Amino acid sequence: MRAQPGIFAIGAVEHCYIELDLLPGVDPVALASCLGSLLGPEGGMVASSVVVGFKPELWATLAPGDAPEGVRSFEEIRGDEVVMPATQHDGWVWISGGARDSVFDSTVAVLNAVRRVANVASEVTGWVYRQDRDLTGFIDGTENPSVIEAGDVAIVGAGAGAGAGDQPGSGSSILLFQLWRHLASFDELGTDEQERVIGRTKADSVELDEDVMPEDSHVSRTVIEQDGEELAIYRRNTAYGGASEHGTVFVGFCAEQRVLQIMLERMAGVGDGIRDALTRHTEALSGAYYVVPSLDALERFAPAPAPGTAPAPAPASGPAPASGPAA
């Protein structure tokens, strides 16, 4: 099964994320048809990359044979002092490209395609900050797997050996989508204090030595090992907002939902009461899980092109040369 290629389409500097709610009385198949068609030759997305996802329960109803087992919608996560709210919606679309105008044009095309079947529940514009840093000034995604390893981490069945392609949901991915607002308190800390919050040096992202690494640092809470093996995820985060209010768009892909859930619960201090220090300087504004189906599964819903119909034209403005990704 072929994964959606946009998951790994690094280099884009402009991004837009749309969450959708199915209109009352509309058959969910209509939403799957609309979103599936965006990735086809008639989708009009030539100048941009597009990735689409669905609420886990909705996708399991639409395509039970193509749904990863046991994946569920986001539920509120609550620690002693941390709350991560649930803001689950029915559909998700991520448009990315090398220039804002091409991403804008493609986003308009998406909205026109879905307006008869779904409402826009949220729209967020993301952008790359200093090539690979988030708005704290630290490099984001140091623990990301290499390009060679990313598929095994992010795609169901990709890293499970012979016969894995036959498992439910093969070729799909589980997405965690969150907005984290940054608080001014982090900028008020000195560099040494910031480094202890993150668990890495600010200039070059070197992990702090064990004897000085705080147990509540972001690294300590999110770098997780089980049976001597690190539980990895594949991050495609970006920055959002303006000078007065801004933060991180967390876009995390994994072949297993449990890995994402363990990470969030450890950040909130669920179970052991050790809260991730970074959550004292950031605030979770949203939380949702989506299944990002394989291309093969989506093609079953995409309408067949009419005979003799030419592909839709690309937006008028092409992408500018892209710099590195938000890691």
**Residues 6 or more apart in contact with residue 79 via CB below 8 angstroms:** 268, 269, 270, 273, 275
Rounded Cα distance, 126 and 319, in Å: 16
Among the listed residues 236, 71, 248, 91, the one whose alpha carbon sits nearest the alpha carbon of residue 167: 71
Residue 73: helix, strand or coil by DSSP? coil
- Measured CA to CA in angstroms, residue 228 lies from 193, 199, 225, 234, 258 at distances of 30, 20, 6, 19, 17
Residue 56 is encoded by which pair of tokens?
A: 């886990």
**Residues 6 or more apart in contact with residue 280 via CB below 8 angstroms:** 185, 197
> Rg of the chain over CA atoms, in angstroms?
20
**Residues 6 or more apart in contact with residue 56 via CB below 8 angstroms:** 67, 71, 72, 73, 174, 289, 290, 291
Active-site residue set: 140
Among the listed residues 223, 250, 263, the one whose alpha carbon sits nearest the alpha carbon of residue 135: 250
Rounded Cα distance, 153 and 255, in Å: 6
Rounded Cα distance, 145 and 213, in Å: 22
